[in-house]
Amino acid sequence: MRVLLLGGTTEASQLAQALHSARIETVFSYAGRTNAPIAQPVDVRIGGFGGADGLATYLKNERISHVVDATHPFANTMGQNAYRACSTHGTPLLRLARPAWRAQADDKWIHVPDITGARDALPADPCRVFLAIGRMHVDLFAARPEHHYLLRLVDAPQTQITLPDHHVTVARGPFNVAEDIALMQEHRITHVIAKNAGGSGAVAKIDAARALGLQVVMIDRPLRPDIAETANIETVLAWLNHDAERGV
Ligand code: NAP
């Protein structure tokens, strides 16, 4: 048995630890987006595979018997590629994903389907936005230059941010509510834009927005391939052990 673990999330790192403890041979795969990825107790590879075909070739060459897709809920291309590559060889594929956040009674959420929708949902009058969506799509908001943007990024930006009025804070989660309330108060935030990542590591900003009565523009998750899915690491281990007992 040799597992490919598609990572980049807290859950993937937790699973890597569990697989290491269970002595299951594992390759952990990072896309290579951050400067200092978290060290893992298993073998690590970094960088894209070259699409679904590249991944299919990798699975064959590296004698991968099982794939766990523990990428972020918004890493949709990787999820689709994993599905297609595993279908090519009949490689068993399981998705490890945290449940989405659900609005509570006091929440003021607007649901939008994607980042462009979030941009377009901002009011016409200038407001102060906590744009908590990572670096990749930030420049789309240059089309709404009337707003002030607070950006929280894992690494200091390597390329110029094209938003005319913004502030960058560099920090890596998990975050806590009291600090996120203080951050939002300090920057006089009126709106929070967030991806519905789910889980506990990034929920502080949602809890903070609720506590402060702020509007949240919530970007709903993209549709993922229809494959077996769990939020539970024990279930992943049981899935692998079941096949190990069958000699797969
Ligand atoms: P994406 O759009 O689904 O993937 C784009 C390309 O990046 C993929 O086609 C693949 O390249 C490569 N890639 C993605 N994840 C990879 C992995 N684990 N190992 C090797 N290659 C990978 O993904 P994304 O939204 O850019 O996210 C990139 C990574 O950051 C993911 O691993 C994800 O778990 C993590 N992350 C994403 C978010 C988010 O909001 N999207 C948030 C936190 C963490 P090839 O086609 O060349 O194979």
List the pLDDT tens digit at each of the 248 positions of the chain.
999 999 999 899 999 999 999 999 999 999 998 888 999 999 999 999 999 999 999 999 999 999 999 999 999 999 999 999 999 989 999 999 999 999 999 999 999 999 999 999 999 999 999 999 999 999 999 999 999 999 999 999 999 999 999 999 999 888 999 999 999 999 999 999 999 999 888 999 999 999 999 999 999 999 888 999 999 999 999 999 988 777 76
Closest C-alpha residue for ligand 1 atom 42: 72
Write down all domains in the chain, each with its CATH number in brackets. Answer: 2-99+223-245 (3.40.50.720), 108-219 (3.40.50.720)
Closest C-alpha residue for ligand 1 atom 1: 75
Q: Are 8 and 31 in contact (CB under 8 A)?
A: yes
- What is the b/e burial string over 40-60, where b = at least 16 CB atoms within 10 angstroms of the residue's CB? bebebeeeebeebeebbebbe
Distance 76 CA to ligand 1 centre (A): 8
Closest C-alpha residue for ligand 1 atom 30: 8
Global pTM reads 0.88
Cα dihedral 161, 163, 167, 173, rounded to 10, equals -60
- Cβ of 32 closer than 6 Å to ligand 1, yes or no, is no
